[in-house]
Amino acid sequence: MSGSNFLDTVNVFFNRAAEVSKLPAGLLEQIRVTNRVLSLKFPIRKDDGTIEVIEGYRAQHSHHKLPTKGGIRYSKLVDEQEVRALSALMTYKCAIVDVPFGGAKGGVKISTTKYSVSELERITRRYTFELIQNNFIGPGIDVPAPDYGTGEREMGWMQDTYHSMVGGIDADACVTGKPVVLSGIRGRKEATGRGVYFGIEEAMSNQEDMDKLGLKTGVDGKTFIVQGLGNVGYHAALFMIEAGATMVGIAEREGSIYCKDGIDLKAVYEHRVSSGSILGFSDACEEMPKKEGAKLLEYPCDILIPAALEGVITEKNADRIQCKILAEAANGPTNVAAHDILTNKGVLIIPDLYLNAGGVVVSYFEWLKNISHVRYGRIGRRSEQKAYTKILKEIEKLSGRSYSDTELEDLSRGADEAALVDSGLNDTMITAYNEINAIRKELNVDLRVASFLSAIRKVSRIYEIGGIFP
């Protein structure tokens, strides 16, 4: 899907929600439009001494809350329309999960496989320099995070560049998704995939909805296919499997593999790391080469999890998709026509702007940690442990049971940072799902329209109550 088509798709869904919002047209237009876009071209010196001009972007969709927040992706598909679309989704996503940021998104138009590590570092640092020069980065201005083609390493380079050029006591909060040793937060790497699992789990706890789909409640015993074995897809699959689901298929850019009896996630991941491909995996029952790999999306399963780039489900394949639940871990994997086809078929679509919000939720926790300069759990953990120990000792007296030292330690352990982050993410995803599901049933709309409507209502209140209009 081109960037312009992606933006059109986002706006079509926004307009469907706007029609039932009963809000003034001018207010809706202010919520919809992108506030600022930075378009860049900058030179970098390659390892062989040649100069290459790199194209980059950063869009700030909404300033109703500051800072703005959103990832940086490295991809040859990056263009201005794509970052506009993704920044809009970030605004709506943050609103849905009650994270107080405006939406933003950035991108650099490169294929990471074509550059050395040192060249990628130079690209990242120069891109960060341009953001600083144009006031598009800062703890209270605009806070990037990882996205497709970037990760902890790139965030570390951005943080270091910001420290060198700007500094300040809160400089660590200029980006999130950093390594833990550079003031990152435990649980951020797996946060988006973990949030995808929490969202699916909550949706599948609804008895009425599962009855309509002919499924039992809960993730246990269900089959799923994942498209994209990157950070999000891998962790979503990992948590699904830990909950008792069976992964029957994996689609990647080099091709797809399928086995109705299940695929060992860790084994296939190790095979891909060592060989560079999921193809050739010994336990695969069926292989599809690159040109046929997309056919896996049409194979039977309870849950289909697209976790790569946008535009993989269209009117060309939607009729043949056999899943009962489409869980959109990627941004914009389903176009408008495909959404309508699948909805009419009775497929429950858990939309991207809710389901993959786990990353920004935990990024918010990381940003708060950097602003407060206190690690989660540092103040209260030992106090909790002492209180739990006292309770257990009283239980021993009353019950006559004696706990071993190991049992006492396990049962009385206070919550550390990872546990608190996981708890906060779980609560956020549950609360947000119940909010959008209530809107869905109240107005007889699908979950995507309900999600957009939830976001529109929340952003509109800030504009109206806050007196932002002059």
Known catalytic residues? 105
User: Counting Cβ atoms within 10 Å, is residue 466 exposed (0-12), middle (13-18) or buried (19+)?
Assistant: exposed
Q: How far is CA 252 from CA 144, 156, 258, 259, in A?
A: 27, 28, 12, 15
Rg (CA), the chain: 23
Distance of CA 63 to the CA centre of its chain: 21
DSSP letters spanning 43-59: EEE-TTS-EEEEEEEEE
Under a CB-based contact definition with an 8 Å cutoff, are residues 53 and 42 in contact?
A: yes
Give me 342's structure tokens.
């699948």
Phi/psi of residue 301, each to 5°? -165, 165
Distance of CA 313 to the CA centre of its chain: 18
Under a CB-based contact definition with an 8 Å cutoff, are residues 258 and 299 in contact?
A: yes
Alpha-carbon span 427 to 375, nearest angstrom = 20
- How many C-beta atoms surround the C-beta of residue 214 within 10 A? 9
CA torsion sign for 86, 92, 97, 102 is positive
CA trace torsion 427, 430, 436, 441 (10° rounding): -140
252, containing H or E segment:
strand 246-252
Q: How far is CA 143 from CA 80, 124, 375, in A?
A: 19, 15, 19
Alpha-carbon span 223 to 362, nearest angstrom = 28
User: Counting Cβ atoms within 10 Å, is residue 269 exposed (0-12), middle (13-18) or buried (19+)?
Assistant: middle
Sheet strands side by side (includes 36-45): 36-45, 51-60, 102-108, 68-74, 142-146
The span from the first CA to the last CA of the chain, in angstroms, equals: 38
